[in-house]
Amino acid sequence: MKIGTGKAPTRLLLDRLARAIDECLENGGLVVGVLPTGYGKTSFVRHKLISRIAREGLRVAHVLPLRAIVSEAAVKAASAAKGLGASDVVGFQAGVLVKGVAKSPYLARDYMIVTVDSFALSFYGIPVYELMRSAWHSDVAYTLARSFNLLILDEYHLMVSGDGEAEDDEIDLLRKQAGVITSIVREYVGSGRCVAVFTATLPPSLLEAVLSNAGVKSNVWLVGYGDRQWKLYQRLLSVLGKIAVRLEEHIGFDRGFEAEHCGCIDTIVKRAEVVDSVVDLGALLDELKGRFESGAKSVFIAFNSWRRAYKTFSEWGSRLERELGCKPVLVTGKMSEEQRHDKLEKVEKLLKDGDRVCLFATQVVEAGVDLDFDILVSEAAPLPALIQRAGRVARHRKPSDINTIIIVYDDAEKLRIVNGIYDTDATRETLNLVVNVLGCRVFDGCRGCLDWRCGGVDGCETVWQLLGDLDSKVYSVKVKAAEPSTELEQLLRRLSTLAEPPRKIVKVLDEKLNGSFVRKSTLIPLLPPSDMVVDGREVSEREVEELLGRLVAVDSRFIRKYGERYLEHQDGSVKAVLVTLDEGRLRLRVRSDVSLYELAERPLYTMWRLAVYTDARLLLGFLLKRDVYDRENGLRVV
């Protein structure tokens, strides 16, 4: 579908999904949509809902897990709304700037695209717009966040994942994520409104972690791609049956979609050395050369770690350009939103023009980015992540002989390649399942054909059937370990009273939730050095927006581990850049007395106190050293 033309894609299961949402809006309940990557569910639903909002005054919150996905979705929604003559209905809320789309701080627009963390803050009366102020309009944020007719939890598998640095971290994070999403679902479904959960890769236990504790019975609609007998759907139907007053299901294939988009893809599992955070692509070079000689023009090299992405790009980017004739491009989460947007536009143009391109990227390209590559080289990861990455291969066409998916790992036992990013057990079991279905006895060199998208292709095994096995062997065990926290439930009820002052709430969020309802920790803005940043300098609104566009967001773990390497600091203090209003004029203020230790250990409270005591209109960020930032590729690895 071309956004903004007033046309929506025609697919069998999308029509079923639209009917389910219509019935859910009328009667209340839960819609679960499990559809392949590239099937068009988000575009279809967006078009249908914006049309309905314009006619009926419906309110919709479209909640997404990542800022990068919100940014792209907001641009597409604004374009669609303009094409339908409803430009004023779309707004977004996330810690980024999106040019041409209205930011709606209190979630006041009728079609809101928002990160899950921003939605959760507003849901508990903590307006993102006023977070760094001494007084909040909590009642406004609280009321508007609970006033939507439809709540869409899109890319749900990324919202409730529990991926952490160690087993205890994973369980604690999953407990927090599930607890917060549970309270939101309970409020919406319990009050007779509609919640829709969308994903292409849903381990049923991660949905059970929320529904089993929500304590509500409701109407349930399940629209799924595939075979009802798959273990994935048997498990999912069991989970949904426990809360359903009435359960309607439509699980099946779409032969038209399969004819255009589905097929077996040559899949290889390969061991690669990782030395000093550089993945040795030498072991894959002959394979890549052969594919490019056969007509391939693009490869997406997916990394779990920003450091490995940056260092492997630095080591191999130029070499691949010489060997394959491709333009190397790096996209990671350690660059500004502006840089990411420009890089992805560049890649999109290269692909469209038929030029050769090698994209080195992290999870920011894993979901919500509509790019189509010939080859995927991916570091080993849990199956849901691999399916999302594989969804960028032959995305808009039927797979052919040039298409290949190569999964690389470093050590089959320790899997250091996923440390601190993904669940090691889920990744190891994923490799076992893939290798077994390909009929191999060992990981290294295992090769065969797999259907990574559909599951209805004759003579080709599908990875979708493996999701049920992975769920029963790994995720179900993980969910059982993450029993609901009474302390968390009490905290959420306490926040819902709107009785606590901002100072106390911010301290509690830091102490109990690491500053975030669903992330591992709150995000901390870092500001690249600039001649513009001078204490007392008068600035315009445009210049402030320019500085905001350059910010790089990191979490408290990064500050704890690398703060002294990356931030301007002296005697344990770092520099903060703020915007103040002085006699009607905007001015930059540079503070040099912010404790690096406090920023790492109590980031949210440290930022709040700094902004409030300075009477700042805005905290821009903490100043980076000059030698750690690359204007093209963001943070350097130092």
pTM of the entire predicted model: 0.93
> Are the beta carbons of 74 and 92 closer than 8 angstroms?
yes
> Are the beta carbons of 39 and 13 closer than 8 angstroms?
yes
pLDDT in tens, 231-279: 999 999 999 999 999 999 999 999 888 888 889 999 999 999 998 899 9
Structure token pair of residue 568: 């301007």
Tokens 């040795």, residue? 280
Burial class (CB in 10 A: 0-12, 13-18, 19+), 85: exposed
pLDDT in tens, 363-402: 888 766 788 999 999 999 999 999 999 999 998 888 899 9
Higher pLDDT: 23 or 212? It is 23
pLDDT in tens, 328-368: 999 999 999 889 889 999 999 999 999 999 999 998 887 66
Task: Work out whether the CA dihedral 303, 308, 313, 319 comes out positive or negative.
Answer: negative
Structure token pair of residue 497: 């009273």
pLDDT in tens, 501-550: 999 999 999 999 999 998 888 999 999 999 999 999 999 999 998 999 89
Strands laid side by side in the 111-115 sheet:
90-93, 111-115, 60-64, 150-154, 194-199, 29-34, 218-225, 244-252
pLDDT in tens, 27-47: 999 999 999 988 888 888 888
Return d(Cα 237, Cα 234) in angstroms, integer.
5
DSSP string, 394-456: STTS---TT-EEEEEES-TTT-GGGTTTS-HHHHHHHHHHHHHHTT-SSSTTEEEEEESS-S-
Least Cα distance to 359 among 338, 342, 373 occurs for: 373
Structure token pair of residue 357: 């391109």
Return d(Cα 309, Cα 342) in angstroms, integer.
18
> Are the beta carbons of 116 and 63 closer than 8 angstroms?
yes
pLDDT in tens, 449-474: 999 988 867 778 889 889 999 999 99
Q: Which one-letter amino acid corresponds to residue 114?
A: V
Give the whole-number percent of the chain exceeding pLDDT 70. Answer: 97
Return d(Cα 383, Cα 380) in angstroms, integer.
9
Structure token pair of residue 542: 């445009």
Return d(Cα 587, Cα 349) in angstroms, integer.
39
Return d(Cα 283, Cα 274) in angstroms, integer.
11
What's the chain's average pLDDT?
Answer: 90
Tokens 């990574």, residue? 452
Structure token pair of residue 576: 């903060």
Return d(Cα 475, Cα 540) in angstroms, integer.
51
Rg (CA), the chain: 24
Residue 56's H or E segment, with its range, is: helix 41-56
> Are the beta carbons of 166 and 188 closer than 8 angstroms?
no
Least Cα distance to 514 among 559, 484, 548, 552 occurs for: 559
Q: Which one-letter amino acid corresponds to residue 458?
A: D
The domains of the chain, with CATH numbers, are 12-257 (3.40.50.300), 264-450 (3.40.50.300), 521-635 (no CATH)
Least Cα distance to 279 among 408, 166, 165, 111 occurs for: 408
Q: Give the CA count within 13 Å in the CB-facing half-sphere of 581.
A: 5
Least Cα distance to 550 among 385, 369, 342 occurs for: 342
Q: Return contacts of 472-477, CB within 8 angstroms, 24+ apart.
A: 472/231, 472/235, 473/429, 474/423, 474/425, 474/426, 474/429, 475/203, 475/204, 475/205, 475/206, 475/426, 476/205
2 — pLDDT class (breaks 50, 70, 90) = very low
